[in-house]
Copies of this chain bind each other. A is one copy, B any other.
Amino acid sequence: MVAADDPESFFATAPPLGDADAVAARLRDFIARNSQSSADGDRRIVCVTSGGTTVPLEQRCVRYIDNFSSGHRGAASTEYFLKAGYAVIFVHRRGSCQPYCRFLPDNSFLKFFDVDAESKVQVAESHATMVMNAIGDYCKAIDGDSLLKLPFTTIFEYLQLLKIVATSISSVGPRGMFYLAAAVSDFYVPWDSMSKHKIQSAGGPLDMRLSQVPKMLSLLRNQWAPLAFCISFKLETDSDILIQKADMALNKYKMNAVVANLLATYKEEVIIVTNKERSTIRKINRDEDLEEQMIKILSHNHLKYICGNTDGCNQSPD
């Protein structure tokens, strides 16, 4: 019997993705349309993963374990990757923050609108510019066919989706990038061991044994997309172990870069760790997006990587 934390065993027992073939076909087409050479050189393609995965605790799922993750980082990063000329495959948690909708207020959606003198509904003056810019950028991405959005909810859906996307992206070699910002569950309940019905609460304390989710980064790096530029994320709560964990991920999984951040300060500061250096990036002013600096650096590193991997490199890192 295969060890519980073996990737093969995970995929063999996971409830299959309903629309795997359709998704694979959409990906093939998307990548093909974004692989036609142009005057600017070949378009780069990034898979941005965003939001948290859930771990169902019952097959007829009422309860599940979730990860604190709004998806804001992934959504904002997607906007800057698109601006930098990438085609983006946005693998995101259903319902999480979306690119170009980051201004959407949680509770006060209705304050967004005014009813004017003729009883016509309008966007309130104060919000109009922001909304208009967002619509403009969003339409550009859709018209330019540079944004493909694929949703997931559970850890089972996420890892199967990641595998399909990676296998598709491998066809573009070093032009492909993975920006793995999703908060992926470390522990899960294998489908076979899961309670079929809602766990009843009359029976005293509840003991749960959660298996480790197999580490997929090695599979991604070695098998699925061996030439891609891979960026993983590390979020910790304890500053004493952050850099050590980031270095470990870099070396153990042969990542090209690791974005390291602390729960307490992730909105204001990240550290980008590569084999060559550690760059601390901080917000300079309140309205700035940290992701703007981050994507500038990572895009630059990706271009250097592509040149290092391609004869007669036709893309300037600047």
Which A residues contact B (CB, under 8 angstroms)? Answer: 4, 54, 57-58, 60-68, 94-95, 98, 100-101, 104, 106-107, 109-110, 113, 115, 119-123, 128, 131-132, 134-136, 138, 149, 151, 183, 185-187, 197-199, 201, 204-213, 235-238, 263-264
Let me know if A58 and B237 touch, CB within 8 A.
yes
Beyond A65-B65, A95-B106, A208-B208, 9 extra complex contacts between A and B, CB < 8 Å: A58-B237, A62-B183, A63-B66, A100-B110, A104-B109, A110-B138, A115-B132, A206-B209, A207-B210
Cα(A67)–Cα(B57), bound, Å = 10
CA distance A63 to B65 in the complex (A): 7
Q: Which residue of B lies closest to A240 (CB)?
A: B197
Chain B contacts of A57 at CB under 8 A? 65
> When the two chains form the complex, which single residue of B66, B98, B186, B207 contacts A207, counting CB atoms closer than 8 Å?
B207
* A66 close to B68 (CB less than 8 A): no
Indicate if the CB atoms of B205 and A208 lie closer than 8 Å.
no
- Contact between B122 and A237, CB atoms less than 8 A apart: no
Count of this chain's copies in the oligomeric assembly: 2
Q: How far is the CA of A283 from the CA of B151 in the complex (A)?
A: 30
Bound form: Cα–Cα A106–B95 in Å: 6
Chain B residue nearest to A107 (CB atoms) is B98
Task: Give Cα A185 to B121, complex, Å.
Answer: 40
Q: Smallest distance from the beta carbon of A84 to chain B beta carbons, Å? A: 21
Shortest C-beta distance, A113 to chain B (Å), equals 6
- List 25 A-B pairs, Cβ < 8 Å: A62-B67, A62-B68, A62-B235, A63-B67, A94-B106, A107-B151, A110-B134, A113-B123, A113-B131, A115-B136, A120-B128, A121-B123, A186-B201, A187-B201, A197-B238, A198-B236, A198-B238, A198-B263, A201-B212, A205-B210, A205-B211, A205-B212, A206-B209, A207-B208, A208-B208
